[in-house]
Amino acid sequence: MAAQLLPLFPFSVVLLPAMPLPLHIFEPRYKEMFGDLREPSDEFGVVLAKDEGIVNIGCSARVEHVVNRYEDGRLDLIAIGARRFQIDSLDQSKSYLQAAVEFFDDENVADPASDLAARAQAAYRELLQLEEVEPPETRSARLSFQIGQLIRDLDKRQALLALRSESERLDFILKTLPEYIARQQRTLLAKRVAPQNGHAKGL
């Protein structure tokens, strides 16, 4: 597939297909970038920004809804994750970063085994209960991406984004989720206990 140039929005998040992403656009270079997006179908690429640079696999997004337009050009908007891509090369000819990318989808499109899907559904329910949230609003029919929205560990979510079959992603989730859930439970417990520490009881 021929590479195509995509505006990039490096961010401290891993976007997944069909995942909503609220953004506040205030930097001049990104005001310019969103000004260059003329059609609702125009895409920009969201890539995870780390201390050592950006990762080479991301997810494109389309602007779903502009919530606010400010007189100084700032924007509040909701974007929706669209297609996954891999960066081939970077382009710095504009004030914002662009990249030649190749879009990809699953190589294995077979449905996951029923027992795998059932165990993943059970893990999903456990994660929802732990986070005390309702299932996220999503248009993705892929359970792995629905679960992935609840995983706060960005490295794990990035690994999920790169896998190219639903079965692989569900298997990855089932292998990594028990340790992740245990860590989240410890974190939640620490938050509950911390306010009680250091307070003397009345005499």
pLDDT of res. 109: 87
Domain 4-104: CATH superfamily, name plus number: LON domain-like (2.30.130.40)
Q: What is the pLDDT of residues 109-144, one digit of tens each?
A: 899 999 999 999 999 998 888 877 777 666 677 999
pLDDT of res. 201: 43
Q: Write down the pTM of the prediction.
A: 0.86
Partnered with residue 184 across adjacent β-strands are none
Residue 51, CB half-sphere, CA atoms under 13 Å: how many?
0
Tokens of 125: 């329910």
Cβ proximity of 52 and 69 under 8 Å: no
Give the pLDDT mean for 57-67: 96
Cβ proximity of 138 and 147 under 8 Å: no
Number of Cβ within a 10 Å radius of residue 150: 18
pLDDT of res. 138: 64
Reply yes or no on whether the pLDDT at 58 is more than 60. Answer: yes
Number of Cβ within a 10 Å radius of residue 78: 14
Quote the CA–CA distance of 124 and 115 in Å, as a whole number.
14
Q: What is the pLDDT of residues 135-186, one digit of tens each?
A: 766 667 799 999 999 998 999 999 999 999 999 999 999 999 888 888 888 8
Structural domain boundaries in the chain: 4-104, 114-193
